C-alpha cells in the first residue's frame, strides 16, 4: 500500500512520530510539505530535515494561513504522479485551498482521505461552499474529535468518518530530559503552556491562582497577542512574586518545562467562532507524568477522559478549589499520573495513531 501524505504540520520534526511507525506497519509512504512555514512566535521556519524521511518539499503560496496556502498545480501534480499512490491523505480543513487542490490534482485511481479539526459548523462562512464541494470527493474523513465529526455531518458530509488524533506523542523521547524547575522542589507548581490569547483562559487562571490558599508558584510558557495584557495582569496580582512568565519556547524544550510542573492547566474559553479543538499540550503533559486540569471547552473533556480533572469553563472558584485540593493531596496526583500514562499508551501514542490510520487505509485498499 502506497500513501502520499500532504500537510504543513510536518515541517516540524516533533510532529512526525506517527510517520515513522507507518513504515513499521508496512506502509510505503512519502510526504509532500512546504519548504518553510511561518510560526507565529518563531518566524519563518525551514523544514527540519533531520530524519532523512521520504518526502518532497515544495514552495507554497499563502503559507502561514492554514486555509489559504497551496502549491503550484504542476509541482503538486508531478509529485503525486511520480509516487503513484493508492491513497492520498491531506491534513487540512475541507474548505481550504490545499485540500481542494489535492482533490483536483491527485491521480484518478488514488483514493482520497482527509484530516480535519473544525468543530464548529461552518454555516454561511465564505469557505462553506468550497468545503461542501470537497466533501463529495473524500473517501474517508479523519476528525480530531467527535465535535469535528459532528460538525462535518451538520455541514453536509455523508461519508465514513473516524475520530483520531492528528499527531500523537512518544513518552520515551522525553524520558531522559531533565525538568526545568523555576521554584524550589517543595513548591507546588501550577503550569500553563499555550498561546497567550484570551480564549485560552489565561486570565481565568490568574484569577483562580490569586484565590488559591495553598502556597504555590505559577509558570506561564508561551507568547501571543495578549502578551502585554498578561504581563500587566501578573504585575497586578497579589502573588506577583510567585508568577514566572517564561515566554515562548521551541518544541524540544516543552517537555523540560512540563516536567518542572506539578499540574498543567488548560482553562480554554469558548468564543463565538472557536472552541478548543484538541489541546495537544494535555497529552504532552500526561506523557511526562504531569497531572492535567482542563475546562469543559470543546474537545478537552474527550481528550482528558478519566485521566484528569475537568471544570466548567469560566468557573474560577471551581478551578481554585481543584488546585488547592491537588496541592494538598499527593496521592490524588499520583493517581492522575498513572491514569494519564495509561491513557496516552492506549489512545495517543504515535504507534497507536499510526495503527488507526493504517487500519482504515488497508480496508480501503482491499475494496
Residues 210 and 331 in one domain: yes
**Which sign, positive or negative, has the C-alpha torsion 58, 62, 68, 73?**
negative
Q: Domain residues for 271? A: 171-347
pLDDT for residue 94: 84
Residues 42 and 127 in one domain: yes
Domains: count for the chain: 2
Q: Is 342 exposed, middle or buried (0-12, 13-18, 19+ CB in 10 A)?
A: middle
Residues 265 and 282 in one domain: yes
Residues 183 and 323 in one domain: yes
Residues 212 and 336 in one domain: yes
**HEC assignment per residue over the chain:** CEEEEECCHHHCHHHHHHHHHHHHCCCEEEEEEECEEEECCCEEEECCCCCCCCEEEECEECCCCCCCCEECHHHHHHHHHHHCCCEEEEECCCCCHHHHHHHHHCCCCCEEEEEECCCCCCCCCCCHHHHHHHHCCCCEEEECCHHHHHHHHHCCCCCCEEECCCCCECHHHHCCCCCCCCCCCCCEEEEEECCCCHHHCHHHHHHHHHHCCCCEEEEEECCCCCHHHHHHHHHHCCCHHHEEEEECCCHHHHHHHHHCCCEEEECCCCCCCCCCCCCHHHHHHHHCCCCEEEECCCCHHHHHHHHEEEECCCCHHHHHHHHHHHHHCHHHHHHHHHHHHHHHHHHHEHHHHHHHHHHHHHHHHHC
pLDDT for residue 63: 86
pLDDT for residue 204: 98
Match 503525486 to its residue by C-alpha cell.
Answer: 80
Residues 228 and 285 in one domain: yes
Residues 152 and 293 in one domain: no
pLDDT for residue 185: 86
pLDDT for residue 16: 92
Residues 145 and 190 in one domain: no
The CATH code of the domain that includes 325 is 3.40.50.2000
Distance CA 312, CA 324 (A): 17
Residues 343 and 353 in one domain: no
pLDDT for residue 41: 62
Residues 214 and 227 in one domain: yes
What string of pLDDT tens digits covers the 367 residues of the chain? 999 999 999 998 899 999 999 999 999 999 999 999 887 666 688 888 766 788 999 999 998 888 899 999 999 999 999 999 999 999 998 889 999 999 999 999 999 999 999 998 776 555 666 777 788 899 999 999 999 999 999 888 999 999 999 999 999 999 899 999 999 989 999 999 999 999 999 999 999 999 999 899 999 999 999 999 999 999 999 999 999 999 999 888 999 999 999 999 999 999 988 999 999 999 999 999 999 999 999 999 999 999 999 999 999 999 999 999 999 999 999 999 999 999 999 999 999 999 999 999 999 987 7
Residues 223 and 129 in one domain: no
Residues 26 and 135 in one domain: yes
Distance CA 343, CA 41 (A): 30
pLDDT for residue 42: 60
Amino acid at each position: 500500500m502506497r500513501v502520499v501524505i500532504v500537510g504543513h504540520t510536518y515541517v516540524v520534526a516533533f510532529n512526525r512520530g506517527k510517520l515513522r511507525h507507518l513504515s513499521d506497519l508496512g506502509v510505503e509512504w512519502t510526504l509532500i510539505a512546504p519548504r518553510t512555514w511561518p510560526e507565529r512566535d518563531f518566524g519563518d521556519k525551514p523544514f527540519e530535515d533531520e530524519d532523512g524521511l521520504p518526502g518532497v518539499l515544495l514552495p507554497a503560496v499563502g503559507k502561514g494561513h492554514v486555509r489559504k496556502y497551496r502549491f503550484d498545480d504542476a509541482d503538486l501534480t508531478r509529485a503525486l504522479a511520480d509516487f503513484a499512490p493508492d491513497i492520498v491523505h491531506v491534513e487540512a480543513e475541507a474548505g481550504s485551498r490545499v485540500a481542494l487542490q489535492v482533490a483536483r490534482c491527485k491521480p484518478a485511481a488514488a483514493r482520497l482521505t482527509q484530516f480535519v479539526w473544525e468543530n464548529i459548523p461552518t454555516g454561511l462562512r465564505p469557505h462553506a461552499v468550497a468545503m461542501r464541494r470537497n466533501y463529495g470527493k473524500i473517501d474517508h474523513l479523519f476528525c480530531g474529535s467527535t465535535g469535528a465529526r459532528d460538525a462535518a455531518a451538520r455541514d453536509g458530509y455523508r461519508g465514513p468518518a473516524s475520530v483520531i488524533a492528528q499527531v500523537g506523542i512518544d513518552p520515551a523521547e522525553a524520558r531522559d530530559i531533565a525538568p526545568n524547575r523555576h521554584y524550589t522542589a517543595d513548591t507546588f507548581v501550577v503550569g500553563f503552556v499555550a498561546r497567550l490569547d484570551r480564549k485560552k483562559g489565561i486570565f481565568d487562571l490568574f484569577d483562580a491562582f490569586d484565590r488559591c490558599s495553598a502556597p504555590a508558584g505559577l509558570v506561564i510558557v508561551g507568547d501571543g497577542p495578549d502578551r502585554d495584557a498578561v504581563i500587566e495582569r501578573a504585575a497586578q496580582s497579589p502573588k506577583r512574586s510567585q508568577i514566572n512568565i517564561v515566554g515562548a519556547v521551541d518544541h524540544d524544550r516543552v517537555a523540560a518545562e512540563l516536567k518542572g510542573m506539578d499540574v498543567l492547566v488548560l482553562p480554554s474559553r469558548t468564543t463565538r467562532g472557536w472552541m478548543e479543538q484538541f489541546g495537544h499540550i494535555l497529552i504532552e503533559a500526561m506523557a511526562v507524568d504531569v497531572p492535567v486540569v482542563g475546562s469543559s471547552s470543546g474537545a478537552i473533556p474527550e481528550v482528558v477522559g478519566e485521566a484528569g480533572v475537568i471544570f466548567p469553563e469560566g468557573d474560577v472558584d471551581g478551578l481554585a478549589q481543584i488546585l488547592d485540593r491537588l496541592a494538598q493531596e499527593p496521592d490524588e496526583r499520583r493517581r492522575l499520573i498513572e491514569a494519564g500514562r495509561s491513557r496516552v499508551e492506549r489512545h495517543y501514542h504515535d504507534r497507536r495513531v499510526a495503527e488507526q490510520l493504517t487500519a482504515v487505509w488497508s480496508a480501503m485498499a482491499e475494496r
